[in-house]
Amino acid sequence: MPQPVRKVQPPLKFLPQRLDPLVIRVVKFLLPAWMRYKLSIASIQTENTEVLVELYQKFQADKVRMLLTFRHPGTADPFVMAYLLWYAVPKAARRMGVKFKEPVRSHFMYDRGIPLWAGEFVTWLFPRLGGTPIFRGKADRQGLKAARDLMANGVIPLSLAPEGGANEHSEMVGSLEPGAAQLGFWCADDLHKANRPESVYVVPIGIQYSYRDLSWSPLEDLLTEMETTAGISPEMSIPKGHLADAQADALYGRLLRLSDHLLEIMEGFYARYYHRTFPEIATAEPEVNGCHRNQYLTKRLKSRLEVVLQVAEEYFGLEPKGSLSDRCRKIEQAGWSHIYRDIEELSPLEQGLADWTAEEASLKLNHMRIVERLSSVTGHYILQKPSIDRFAETILIVWKIVEHLKGGDPHSPPDLGLKSLRITVGKPLSVTERFPTYQKDRRHARQEVEALTRELQTSLEEMIV
């Protein structure tokens, strides 16, 4: 496991955005090389960037306000959005003969927890790139107020990832949080109260990665490494020259075997040291091409995650309410309240107890981290389409879980080769058209937020190829 926090820390401060054009120019200059050599993105395809050209024109003419909502399959996505706005949109504008009043850029919302693991440089950098933080898992009035103000009054648009966090799947959209739609309606409400005529749009932006020349061998090597780490004998690989289907079948069998073994280890750990019992999962159906075995593992995983999450919830005195993601965020906030707190007037004895509490809370957060990583594993992603890209994404998810459990760095996964990137700008979704119904009462407001969220989800899903 990662090293726990040993000492209680001062409260986490809100980091107000401090947009710095000089910092942006430096990062913009470095971005292409960073994407090529650090992120392994070798080619970039953009579609429908003309939509953003027209919207930025109208935005700079005070005719529209817009929220850019992008897919979040991985940690490289913020760099992708920067490339889209700093390079692709201006290029499309030149092609269209359009000149902007100001450089194309945006503010962006980010999880306040990111700087905790990304480091002091990111803590310094994000505000200067126009980032505004949000504490997920609680009512962050200051963060929401800042985002709402930028949405209605910022000199540049606001962007965010409506999935909340990276879902690790390029070809699957996670469940969207309602915050994006709500921000859009808040903006429409603020404009209405100020008698301002701008229209409000939510703009869906698809991001999709694929490997260019990935072969099965690196995936087999990675599986072998994890099998050895987990203490099971690596299975024989399919000899080179066999059909890709045979290689995929063999690899999938090994992946299921490793997953089964990891669950056994987890069950033994929580049964022995946390005195937990696990419900039996029925296996009555016969095995057909690994399908029923996969379904069994999926059900088993879901029930085990429930038990693991309860360990942390019971420690922090939390009720198990909401989705797994919601519960993880609440646990995170509860842990932070033990670690980051007022300590100026503590006596030496109270300081010692506070350190003790902080360390225990830090350790309990590891249970939540396990669930957070395992919850991104689906029971159907590979079976629906057994492509080498989907295999690679799933194997990297398992690698991050293994690395986390053995105390390594899950934020530095192995590089499997060069990637192609596809960025698609979708049809803008009008918030203004829905606003009259939203205004009626709370019930209608809730329904409109839910309807816009569903429409955004559908739009993002339709951009996947």
Cα–Cα distance between 237 and 250 in angstroms, integer? 7
High-pLDDT (> 90) share of the chain, %: 75
> Amino acid identity of 375?
S
pLDDT surpasses 70 at 290: no
Question: What is the largest distance, in Å, between two alpha-carbon atoms of the chain?
Answer: 70
pLDDT in tens, 1-56: 556 788 999 999 999 999 999 999 999 999 999 999 999 999 999 999 999 999 99
- Residue 409 — very low, low, confident or very high, per pLDDT cuts 50/70/90? confident
Q: 432: Cβ–Cβ under 8 A, 6 or more apart, which residues?
A: 188, 199, 200, 201
Residue 287 scores a pLDDT above 90:
no
| 311-347 confidence digits (pLDDT tens) | 999 999 999 988 888 899 999 999 999 999 998 889 9
Residues 6+ apart with CB under 8 A from 53: 89, 92, 93, 96, 98
Q: 378 with 255: CB under 8 angstroms? A: no
Residue 44's closest CA among 32, 52, 59, 56? 32
Give the mean model confidence (pLDDT) for residues 185-206.
Answer: 98
Q: Domains along the chain?
A: 21-212+419-462 (3.40.1130.10), 232-405 (no CATH)
Indicate the pLDDT class of residue 443, thresholds 50, 70 and 90.
very high
- Predicted confidence band at 288 (pLDDT cuts at 50, 70, 90)? very low
Question: Could you tell me the two tokens for 58?
Answer: 């109208």
Range 410-430 average pLDDT: 95
- Structural contact between residues 147 and 132, judged by C-beta atoms closer than 8 angstroms: yes
Cβ neighbours of residue 321 closer than 8 Å, sequence gap 6 or more: 327
pLDDT by residue (tens digit) across 344-389? 889 999 999 999 999 999 999 999 999 988 888 877 888 889 899 9
**Average pLDDT, stretch 247-273?**
90
Q: What is the pLDDT confidence band of residue 283, given thresholds at 50, 70 and 90? A: low
Distance CA 259, CA 251 (A): 12
Which amino acid, 284? A
CA distance 36 to 80: 12
Q: What pLDDT, on the 0 to 100 scale, is given for residue 292?
A: 67
HSE-up (13 A, CA, CB side) for residue 411:
9
Cα–Cα dist 72/163, whole Å: 7
Strand 158-160, strand 64-70: pairing:
parallel
Sorted by sequence, the CB contacts under 8 Å of residue 28 that are 6+ apart come out as 82, 86
Rounded distance, CA 464 to CA 422, Å? Answer: 9
Q: Helix count (H) and strand count (E) of the chain?
A: 17, 8
CA 83 to CA 294: how far, in whole Å? 39
Write down the residue that tokens 């504008």 correspond to: 93
